[in-house]
Amino acid sequence: MQAARILVDQDEGYDLPKAVATVSLAPAQAAGLHDRGEIREGLRADLVRVRSYKKQFVVNQVWRTGQRVF
């Protein structure tokens, strides 16, 4: 998440949704993990809910395969 924040802060071409897609989808594809990396029907549904605090993201909730685990 911090990498997404850095992209938004340092590159004028990135908004938060594009930055999150860049740091989640590209690595998943590079690793051959085609069942994750984006929010789309039929994928794993691993999600992290964060809030912004002093230029950093703090994790509030986590879901793994659609089930809340934190």
Task: Return the pLDDT at 25.
Answer: 94
Give the span between the Cα atoms of 13 and 31, in whole angstroms. 25
Could you identify the residue written with the tokens 């990135």?
14
Task: Return the pLDDT at 12.
Answer: 83
Task: Return the pLDDT at 49.
Answer: 96
CB 29 within 8 A of CB 37: yes
User: Please, what is the average pLDDT of the chain?
Assistant: 93
Task: Return the pLDDT at 55.
Answer: 83
**Tens digits of residue pLDDT in 25-49:** 999 999 999 999 999 999 999 999 9
**Which residues have C-beta within 8 Å of that of residue 25, sequence separation ≥ 6?**
37, 38
Percent of the chain surpassing pLDDT 70? 100
